[in-house]
């Protein structure tokens, strides 16, 4: 048995060496070359802006927002400074988890505008794929590692912790290599998305519009029924926010006319549930964000420059009314 | 439960620790129980055909031994022992293929064939344990192996978990090892662990990484220019080797940790100087099985010239069919058969040519040329092995020539713009299946890993790398072990990709 003991001791030493290397790598400054790592940057952006703030949160439909224009219009009409933070990133993110992450960072008098795409609210299959998405889970882990480790330990899922840390470390190494290959010497690491500074402005908006593409992607969808689990979470979040003197409103995403007409019945049902049953505040109605197809870029949720100007103008006006 | 999963690591650790903790007399039972549990983790019902093969082959061998040598009744039991696993193979693996083939022929002849869809799930490993049990009854019949009396030991011989899924296709002499009393051996255990780590490196760092590029091109062959077909095929040559030899290393390593030795399945096949030599280095356990139980019984080379060539050809055709019930594998087997025959037919011409141009005076260059030509021929045949359909394979095979022709003509014409256009990919956000952001680091990791593997293989070709490593000091050894383990941890693809040879 001495032989076995000796071998097990050596294996433990090797495991300890690998664990130590993983820990060193985890704490080394570095970025992640993955769009979803922008979650870290967007959270840092939220923390950096002084309250009271207007926080937009939702999917990629928000990424083209003209936050500067909205900030200027609202501040002008209100005659008091309001900073706008655009936390919009990707429609495939679990909205409940994302809101849970930013909840502790909100302050009294902040205004939160939740603007998810229709799919997670009206397509149960899409919603269940959102819940299972491994990529998103990885970056939520990166946002709050201790919280996620605690959750995994409670669920007895130790393998998940090891796997997630290993995968994030791998991505960090690949980003070092990417930086090395592309000679990114002047690059300052943020602990988030490698290209964040190049892709997003100081409000969290995309610097570049989406490519024009026809036919629009994600088109032709026929929505099923409202996903009550997701909607009920919005209600919970609103109640909690109101207790802390935070205003929460729902805005509907932009949608092309033909797609809207095809799904009008379901979208109207969703609107009624939000307004009448859940009694949530609404910043816009679905038809406020319905535009002809020529205002869209590549997907049914992504506006082009012209469309975004229209939408941002409309949102600024509604916000000015809301905050008054 | 795949080898490349955390579940397997935990399973194997428990198996090994308990194995060395329990008395010798119960070790076989422990391994047998673990083997059944491991096998049933894929699908519980898979155990039924396996158990039936174990039972019938055990009885057939015992009855053959009891009968007079080579008597009619012994022959009947031998026939049962051979045909039963073959019938199972035909039912699970080949029936849909034959059904399709008959239906296609009937359509061609305008006959009415009521084709029913037969789609059975193939129990994993059936192609391997079927051949293993056939070799056992044949050896018992030949008298070179005694029929095992202990049913449990025989069952373990067939269902030993490291090799049940994808071989090596062991011979009956593995049985003796289960009966031997062996205390834990430090050298065996550490050698086994090293071999397993190396297998994981090949599979997770190389095979699964370049497999992404291979899948991208092979799944959309019509979207890519021939130059990418060449690239994807070269990648597939490496992927397949790393995937299968990686699996074999893990299997051999796991057995070695338990004090048992499985046969070698690979001997640096891409260093072969001819197709025949390639087959002496690639999937050795299958090649030797086909040699001993198919080629030699057909007469081998001790027959008339035409018959020998027929034997060679038919053996490669059988090898192709063993790999899979589809026309692509038939074409792959036929191609290798033709390569070998062409080698036989052209031997005099090639020998004259080598002497005439004086190539024999430059042995290194000659060897390099031979290895290169063999690699190109083997690589070309892999197109048929990997392609989803025969029409895809034929399209890609044509495109490979077009791609090479375009590339060379532009290269010699110094046409930089044309070359750039040649490498332009239609896909929007990805390059060869990788995102635009990760493509370069992934390719760099793949390249460095393949070069490292090439260096290790070259060293192994000349010396026993394992022995040489043991002579080094602790610091060097531990540094190398650490490098290997951290390469797997920091560069391994944890996507639980199935081993390619699992589906055969």
pLDDT in tens, B193-205: 999 999 999 999 9
Question: Are B337 and B316 within 8 A, CB to CB?
Answer: yes
Task: Summarize the confidence of residues B304-328 as an average pLDDT.
Answer: 92
Q: Report chain B's mean pLDDT, rounded to a whole number.
A: 91
Mutate to test the interface with A, among B438, B441, B449 (most CBs of A within 10 A): B441
When computed from its CA atoms, the radius of gyration of chain B, rounded to whole angstroms, is: 24
pLDDT in tens, B112-163: 877 676 667 889 999 999 999 999 999 999 999 999 999 999 999 999 999 9
pLDDT of residue B427: 66
Q: How many CB atoms lie under 10 A from the CB of residue B457? A: 18
Per-block mean pLDDT, blocks of 10 residues, chain A (324 long): 87 95 95 95 96 95 96 82 94 94 94 96 94 92 93 87 93 93 80 94 95 88 91 93 94 96 95 94 96 96 96 95 82
Tokens 């009415």 -> residue = B112
Which of A11, A18, A181 comes nearest B444 by C-beta? A181
For residue B183, pLDDT beyond 80: yes
pLDDT of residue B469: 83
Tokens 């939160």 -> residue = A112
Query: Considering the entire predicted model, what is its pTM?
Result: 0.88
Q: How confident is the model at residue B484 (pLDDT cuts 50, 70, 90)?
A: very high
pLDDT of residue B129: 95
Report, at the CATH architecture level, how domain A42-131+199-323 is classified. 3-Layer(aba) Sandwich (3.40)
Task: Summarize the confidence of residues B62-67 as an average pLDDT.
Answer: 91
Helix (H) or strand (E) holding B405: helix B390-412
SS3 A86: strand
Q: How many CB atoms lie under 10 A from the CB of residue B180? A: 9
For residue B69, pLDDT beyond 80: no
Which residues of B are less than 8 Å from A172 in CB distance? none
Tokens 């994030």 -> residue = A168
d(CA B483, CA B39): 33
Phi and psi of B468, rounded to 5°? -60, -40
Q: How confident is the model at residue B107 (pLDDT cuts 50, 70, 90)?
A: confident
Q: How confident is the model at residue B494 (pLDDT cuts 50, 70, 90)?
A: confident
Contacts of A273 (CB under 8 A, 6+ apart): A226, A231
Burial class from Cβ neighbours inside 10 Å (0-12, 13-18, 19+) for residue A31 reads buried
pLDDT in tens, B1-50: 888 888 899 999 999 999 999 998 899 999 999 999 999 999 999 999 99
Query: In whole angstroms, how far apart are CA B200 and each of B244, B388, B446?
Result: 11, 27, 14
Task: Summarize the confidence of residues B93-112 as an average pLDDT.
Answer: 83
Sheet with A83-86: strands ordered across? A83-86, A53-58, A111-115, A247-250
Question: Are B373 and B311 within 8 A, CB to CB?
Answer: no
Q: How confident is the model at residue B246 (pLDDT cuts 50, 70, 90)?
A: very high
pLDDT of residue B254: 96
Tokens 């909840």 -> residue = A103
By annotation, the residues of B acting in catalysis are 323
**Per the CB < 8 Å rule, is A173 touching B490?**
yes
d(CA B10, CA B86): 35
d(CA B37, CA A226): 44
Distance from CA of A149 to the nearest CA of B (A): 18
pLDDT in tens, A66-124: 999 999 999 887 667 889 999 999 999 999 999 999 999 999 999 999 999 999 999 99
Q: Dihedral of the CA atoms A179, A184, A186, A187 (nearest 10)?
A: -50
pLDDT of residue A182: 83
Percent of chain A with pLDDT over 90: 82
Which conformational region is residue A240 in: left (phi greater than 0), alpha (psi within -120 to 50 degrees), or beta? Answer: alpha
pLDDT in tens, B259-286: 999 999 999 999 999 999 999 999 999 9
Task: Summarize the confidence of residues B98-111 as an average pLDDT.
Answer: 84
Contacts of A267 (CB under 8 A, 6+ apart): A118, A122, A223, A252, A255, A260, A286
Helix (H) or strand (E) holding A248: strand A247-250
- Closest residue of chain A to B479, computed from CA coordinates: A14
Which conformational region is residue B70 in: left (phi greater than 0), alpha (psi within -120 to 50 degrees), or beta? Answer: left
pLDDT of residue B118: 65
Q: How many CB atoms lie under 10 A from the CB of residue B501? A: 21
pLDDT of residue B205: 96
Which of A14, A170, A178 comes nearest B490 by C-beta? A170
**Per the CB < 8 Å rule, is A178 touching B438?**
yes
- Closest residue of chain B to A163, computed from CA coordinates: B494
pLDDT of residue A13: 95
For residue B428, pLDDT beyond 70: no
Tell whether A212 lies on the interface with B, counting CB pairs under 8 A: no
Before A52, cis peptide (omega within 30)?
yes
Which residues of B are less than 8 Å from A14 in CB distance? 481-482, 485
Of B37, B485, B412, B405, nearest to A17 by C-alpha is: B485
d(CA A260, CA A252): 12
Contacts of A181 (CB under 8 A, 6+ apart): B440, B441, B444
Which residues of A are less than 8 Å from B185 in CB distance? 3
d(CA B57, CA B133): 7
Question: Are B460 and B467 within 8 A, CB to CB?
Answer: no
Query: In whole angstroms, how far apart are CA A179 and each of B198, B487, B491?
Result: 29, 20, 17
Mutate to test the interface with A, among B200, B258, B489 (most CBs of A within 10 A): B489
d(CA A196, CA A40): 10
Mutate to test the interface with B, among A7, A23, A195 (most CBs of B within 10 A): A7
d(CA B245, CA B500): 11
Segments in B143-225 forming alpha helices (H)? 151-159, 161-164, 174-179, 186-200, 208-219
Segments in A116-157 forming alpha helices (H)? 119-122, 124-132, 134-143, 145-155
pLDDT of residue A312: 97
Q: How confident is the model at residue B111 (pLDDT cuts 50, 70, 90)?
A: confident
pLDDT of residue B117: 63
Q: How confident is the model at residue B297 (pLDDT cuts 50, 70, 90)?
A: very high
Which residues of A are less than 8 Å from B490 in CB distance? 21, 25, 166, 169-170, 173
Inter-chain Cβ pairs, chain A and chain B, closer than 8 A? 66
d(CA B86, CA B88): 5
DSSP structure string for B340-402 = HHHHHHTHHHHHHHHHHHTGGG-HHHHHHHHHHHHHHHHHHHHHHHH-SSHHHHHHHHHHHHH
Helix (H) or strand (E) holding B457: helix B439-462
- The full set of domain ranges for chain A reads 42-131+199-323
SS3 A303: strand
Task: Summarize the confidence of residues B66-75 as an average pLDDT.
Answer: 85
Q: How confident is the model at residue B369 (pLDDT cuts 50, 70, 90)?
A: very high
pLDDT in tens, B158-175: 999 999 998 799 988 889
Before B96, cis peptide (omega within 30)?
no
Tell whether B434 lies on the interface with A, counting CB pairs under 8 A: no
């Amino acid at each position: 048995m001495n032989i076995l003991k000796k071998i097990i001791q050596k294996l433990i030493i090797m495991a300890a060496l690998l664990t130590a290397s993983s820990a060193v790598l985890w704490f080394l400054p570095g970025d992640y070359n993955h769009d979803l790592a922008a979650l870290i940057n967007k959270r840092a952006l939220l923390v950096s802006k002084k309250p009271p703030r207007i926080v937009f949160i939702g999917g990629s439909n928000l990424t083209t927002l003209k936050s500067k224009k909205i900030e200027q219009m609202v501040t002008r009409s209100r005659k008091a400074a309001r900073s706008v933070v655009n936390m919009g990133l990707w429609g495939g993110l679990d909205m409940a988890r994302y809101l849970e992450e930013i909840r502790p960072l909100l302050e009294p008098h902040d205004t939160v505008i939740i603007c998810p795409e229709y799919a997670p609210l009206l397509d149960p299959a899409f919603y269940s794929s959102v819940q299972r998405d491994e990529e998103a889970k990885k970056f939520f882990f990166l946002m709050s590692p201790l919280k996620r480790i605690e959750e995994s330990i409670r669920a007895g899922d130790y393998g998940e912790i090891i796997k997630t840390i290993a995968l994030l470390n791998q991505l960090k190494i690949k980003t070092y290599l990417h930086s090395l290959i592309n000679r990114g010497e002047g690059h300052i690491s943020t602990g988030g998305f490698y290209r964040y500074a190049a892709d997003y402005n100081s409000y969290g908006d995309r610097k570049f519009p989406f490519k024009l593409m026809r036919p629009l992607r994600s088109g032709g969808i026929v929505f099923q029924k409202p996903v009550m689990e997701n909607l009920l979470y919005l209600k919970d979040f609103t109640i909690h926010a109101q207790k802390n003197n935070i205003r929460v409103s729902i805005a509907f995403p932009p949608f092309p006319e033909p797609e809207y007409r095809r799904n009008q019945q379901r979208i109207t049902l969703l609107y009624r549930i939000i307004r009448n049953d859940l009694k949530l505040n609404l910043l816009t109605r679905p038809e406020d964000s319905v535009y002809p197809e020529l205002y869209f870029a590549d997907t049914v949720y992504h506006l082009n420059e012209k469309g975004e100007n229209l939408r941002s103008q409309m949102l600024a006006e509604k916000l000015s009314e809301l905050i008054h | 439960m795949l080898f490349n999963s955390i579940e397997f690591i935990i399973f194997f650790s428990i198996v090994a620790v308990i194995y060395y903790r329990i008395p010798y007399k119960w070790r076989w039972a422990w391994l047998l129980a673990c083997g059944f549990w491991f096998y049933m983790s894929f699908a519980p019902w898979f155990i039924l055909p396996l158990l039936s093969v174990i039972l019938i082959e055990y009885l057939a061998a015992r009855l053959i031994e009891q009968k007079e040598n080579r008597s009619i009744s012994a022959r009947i039991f031998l026939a049962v022992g051979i045909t039963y696993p073959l019938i199972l193979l035909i039912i699970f693996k080949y029936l849909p293929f034959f059904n399709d083939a008959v239906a296609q022929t009937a359509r061609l002849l305008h006959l009415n064939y009521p084709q029913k869809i037969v789609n059975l799930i193939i129990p994993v490993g059936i192609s391997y344990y079927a051949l293993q049990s056939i070799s056992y009854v044949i050896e018992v019949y030949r008298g070179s192996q005694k029929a095992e009396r202990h049913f449990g030991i025989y069952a373990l011989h067939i269902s030993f978990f490291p090799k049940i899924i994808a071989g090596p296709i062991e011979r009956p002499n593995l049985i003796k090892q289960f009966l031997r009393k062996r205390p834990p051996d430090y050298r065996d255990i550490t050698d086994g662990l090293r071999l397993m780590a190396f297998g994981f490196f090949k599979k997770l760092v190389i095979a699964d990484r370049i497999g992404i590029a291979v899948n991208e091109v092979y799944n959309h062959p019509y979207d890519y220019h021939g130059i990418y077909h060449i690239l994807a095929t070269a990648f597939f040559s490496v992927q397949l080797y790393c995937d299968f030899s990686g699996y074999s290393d893990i299997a051999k390593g796991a057995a070695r940790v338990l004090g048992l030795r499985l046969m070698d399945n690979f001997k640096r096949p891409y260093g072969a100087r001819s197709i025949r030599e390639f087959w002496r280095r690639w999937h050795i356990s299958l090649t030797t099985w086909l040699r001993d139980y198919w080629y030699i019984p057909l007469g081998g080379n001790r027959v008339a010239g035409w018959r020998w060539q027929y034997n060679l050809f038919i053996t490669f055709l059988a090898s192709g069919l063993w790999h899979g019930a589809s026309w692509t594998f038939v074409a792959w087997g036929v191609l290798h058969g033709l390569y070998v025959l062409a080698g036989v037919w052209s031997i005099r011409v090639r020998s004259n040519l080598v002497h005439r141009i004086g190539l024999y005076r430059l042995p290194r260059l000659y060897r390099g040329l031979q290895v290169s030509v063999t690699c190109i021929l083997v690589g070309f045949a892999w197109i048929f092995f990997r392609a989803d359909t025969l029409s895809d394979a034929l399209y890609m095979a044509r495109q490979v020539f077009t791609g090479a022709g375009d590339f060379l003509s532009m290269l010699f014409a110094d046409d930089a713009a044309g070359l750039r256009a040649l490498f332009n990919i239609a896909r929007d956000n990805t390059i060869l299946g990788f995102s635009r952001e990760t493509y370069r680091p992934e390719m760099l990791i793949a390249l460095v890993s393949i070069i490292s593997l090439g260096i290790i293989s070259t060293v192994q070709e000349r010396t026993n790398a394992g022995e040489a490593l043991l002579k080094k000091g602790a610091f060097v050894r531990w540094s190398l072990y650490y490098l290997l383990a951290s390469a797997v941890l920091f560069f391994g693809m944890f996507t639980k990709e199935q081993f390619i040879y699992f589906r055969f």
